[in-house]
Homo-oligomer: A and B are copies of this chain.
Amino acid sequence: MRQKLALMIDFEKALEIILSKTQNLNSVENVPLSESIGRILAQDVISDINMPPFRKTAVDGYACRKIDLTNPLQVIGTIAAGTFPKSEILPNTCMKIMTGAPIPIGADYVIPVEDTSTNNEGKVLLTGKISRSNICELGEDIKSGNIAIKAGTQIQPKHIAIMAALGCHNPQVNVKPNIAILPTGDELVEPTQKPIGGQIRNSNGHQLIAQVSEAYCIPNYFGIIRDTKQSTYDALKKALDENDVVLLTGGVSMGDFDYVPEIMEELGIQIHFDSIAVQPGKPTTFGTKGNKLIFGLPGNPVSSFIQFEFLVKPAIQKLTGSTSNSNLTLKLPLEVTYTRKRTERLAIIPAQITSNQTALPIEYHGSAHIFALNNANAVIFIPKGVSSIEKGDLVDVRQI
């Protein structure tokens, strides 16, 4: 059997190595606003206008002078949103005004309609209390030329309103990385087939397609790669030629039929590590060839899921120039006491964030136990060297 590179490296060190080898793809394209969700802005969104673009009312009501508020006010016109007032407010007059409409010259106050009554001469009276002006000042939200959204931001629905408001209808974004997915193993059959004998269905290949799509990248699925040197070599070579990132699953532990590390070397891939002090995910391998990243992920779907989320995703984010932190680490009290025997690895265990805001580990038989993730909405990080954590102690939790 092939010798491993070296001792297990720490998970944090593995992530640091991956990020140090990852460069922004630096390739951009313009996309319509409606297709920009999830993409990473390649340039700042600059405001081409003042917002608000004019002094406007925040409420439906009557625009007037604050010093006249104690007098009956004669209504001298109506201002709809989208139209500019033709006359100005003179003493003891007002104009009916609709939310968002421009404030007429002379006015410094808008009486909300619900705080008024009309007297028998048709004049408007303030019935409520005098409060703030209800006027939005020109440019109070943003001034023309200012940066509204920074390059590197992942575009979410909340950014769309800003971009639409500023006329950024065809934003420049970083291209989506192409990510090859190569599940390996003679024992695998596709989900459409019923496994016989020692076969199992290919589950993590399809899981990775879904994870890659959800990360707003392009998944290129290569199908199941059989356990021969030639087919592994051919598939990996093609995948490397055509993609920015290659994800292999299986074939990276110490079995006799695990050709992958050997072939990676033959293809000129520099292997940076092949074992991480993490559970699940110990036999995770990482290599580079030029700017291309190659991950050998374990064949077990829970390992592959977790290592994609916490090692591959940060690399993808760096490839696309993303500065958004998509996954918050929470510190939550443990719902039950946790103990383990072996402590030489960081453990990442499926968990549920309860309604009491505690972290509850979920029944989990190990890295092949894909059903454990079904009811998990988070994972708990149990640090290396720690064998037990008391109920109520704070642990690091990340949502999945």
Contact = CB atoms under 8 A, between A and B. Distances in A.
Interface string A164-200: 1111110000000000000001111011111101111
Contact of A169 (B169, B191, B400): B191
A354 to B, nearest CB: 10
A88 to B, nearest CB: 16
Nearest to A169: B191
Chain B CB within 10 Å, residue with most, of A54, A81, A161 = A161
B136 A365 contact: yes
20 contacts: A34-B210, A34-B213, A37-B210, A37-B214, A58-B366, A58-B367, A82-B199, A83-B186, A98-B257, A100-B368, A101-B187, A136-B366, A141-B371, A142-B371, A148-B374, A156-B210, A160-B210, A161-B370, A164-B203, A167-B192
Contacts of A371: 51, 141-142, 148, 162
Q: How many copies are assembled? A: 2
Interface residues of A, number: 102
A209 B33 CA distance: 10
Given A37-B214, A99-B253, A299-B99, A52 B141 contact: no
A81 to B, nearest CB: 4
Interface in A349-385: 353, 357, 365-371, 373-374, 376-377
A9 interface: no
